[in-house]
Amino acid sequence: MKLKDASLLIVDDDEAVLIAVKMLLKGEVACLVTEKNPENLLNQLAKTKFDLVILDMNYKSALNTGNEGFFWLNKIKNHSPEMLVIMITAYAEIDLAIRSMKEGAADFIVKPWRNEQVIDTIRQALSGKLTDNKIKFSLSLPASQIKAGHDYSGMIGSSELMEEVKIKIDKIAATDANVLILGENGTGKDLVARLIHEKSNRSSKPFVAVDLGSLTETLFESELFGHKKGAFTDAREDRTGRMEAAEGGTLFLDEIGNISMYQQAKLLSVLQNKQVIRLGTNQVIPLDFRLVSATNIPIYELAAESKFRKDLIYRINTVEIKLPPLRKRGKDILLLADFYLQKYALKHKRPATGFDSDAMKTLMMYSWPGNVRELQHTVERAIIMSDCETLGVSDLDFTSIEQIIPESSTDTLQLKEIEKETIARVVDKHKGNITQAAKELGITRTALYRRLNKYDI
């Protein structure tokens, strides 16, 4: 069917979107009907024979999970199985695109859109060029995300804090600057490191990741610098170090805050001279890699306590990225929860399709000390253990239910009061053991002592 002969129904509760679509398609189609209330959708289908429906995915709930859109998509397909449906949403998540295709949509558009692409998508749907197994997600992305190097499909989140992180990544990636990524455990530091590499001019070269926290003193030099056969007792063959392996690409040093002063001195020397000598040899090997480091430890406090070399911080930290904890990312929590729900329901062949309102409220209230990694494990565990389509609060087995802040307290407690309560509880949990309490809180002993004095605990 040609576009000029088509009848279209547009369903979106945003008046501005409806006006924009009217202006865009005016004179392009034979009939165009707009509808703000999805409750009237089936009545519209009964009154008029439409060739295509453009359907928004989010309405009154403002949760932006797309669940309402999927509900109405299923209603349309039950009423008119052959109806062409194009889904629209403000959140460019590939999992939503895949799910909408699986449930019968012809295509998927992200707003704000590019006008010529919307028309082209509609035209192809009407001409029958779109098939069930062909996802043309790239055609629907906004112009700002179509440009090479702007793919953030692996980084789920639309909060202001995460948008700032994405902007930083784009600016940094194009340079060769060394990057230090700071953030709590589970915030996605490794993902950011890989994105910086993938968007850089070194993307075709190796990305070599090293977990420094897992290396012993004896393995540190061998792993990073390499060794010659016979250099030490267990050196049974020549080994290329991780730094050599990253030649031309990116070297990612994770948990850099955990290395000893001796290891810091060795690392600093290599980074300053941009050359390395394998253990057991005298051969100098020049190095060319982009350095990205990460830590969950308050590295500046360590430096103030003379536990981390300031000159090494200057060397590894040309530019810094701070990743926000999940508890500060607002409704990103629900976006991530929905993403993992779909992922693990498919992987484990379970019936779950969403969360009920109480479960979503609880997800938002929980403080997520383990951040995204903890959310991922929580959702996967719920998927495996539940036999229901809709997950409830009872399905969510949190690591520490004490981390849920009562709803009333979020409106009345000051941040300082919350911090004081948390510190007092953790110190009490460890029966006054400051070392263990500081470790759980993610701060140094000195920093914890300062807070204990500050709050008179």
Burial class (CB in 10 A: 0-12, 13-18, 19+), 248: exposed
Domains with residue ranges and CATH for the chain: 3-146 (3.40.50.2300), 160-322 (3.40.50.300), 327-403 (1.10.8.60), 412-455 (1.10.10.60)
pLDDT in tens, 190-247: 999 999 999 999 999 999 999 998 888 778 888 898 878 876 667 678 788 899 999 9
Are residues 37 and 44 in contact, defined by beta-carbon separation less than 8 angstroms?
no
pLDDT in tens, 302-350: 899 899 999 999 999 999 999 999 999 998 999 999 989 988 998 899 9
Give pLDDT, residue 95: 54
pLDDT, greater one: 449 or 167: 167
Quick one: pLDDT band at residue 21, thresholds 50, 70, 90? confident
Give pLDDT, residue 97: 57
Quick one: pLDDT band at residue 380, thresholds 50, 70, 90? very high
Quick one: pLDDT band at residue 392, thresholds 50, 70, 90? very high
d(Cα 159, Cα 25) in Å, to the nearest integer?
Answer: 32
d(Cα 314, Cα 323) in Å, to the nearest integer?
Answer: 19
As a whole-number percent, the residues of the chain with pLDDT over 90 amount to 44
88, pLDDT greater than 90? no
When the pLDDT of each residue in the chain is averaged and rounded to a whole number, the result is 82
d(Cα 50, Cα 84) in Å, to the nearest integer?
Answer: 9
pLDDT, greater one: 183 or 414: 183
10, pLDDT greater than 50? yes
pTM: 0.58
| CA 64, chain centre distance (Å) | 16
As a whole-number percent, the residues of the chain with pLDDT over 70 amount to 84
Give pLDDT, residue 66: 58
Quick one: pLDDT band at residue 125, thresholds 50, 70, 90? confident
pLDDT in tens, 247-261: 999 999 999 999 999
d(Cα 145, Cα 387) in Å, to the nearest integer?
Answer: 38
d(Cα 115, Cα 107) in Å, to the nearest integer?
Answer: 15
d(Cα 206, Cα 199) in Å, to the nearest integer?
Answer: 13
pLDDT in tens, 172-181: 998 999 999 9
Quick one: pLDDT band at residue 407, thresholds 50, 70, 90? very low
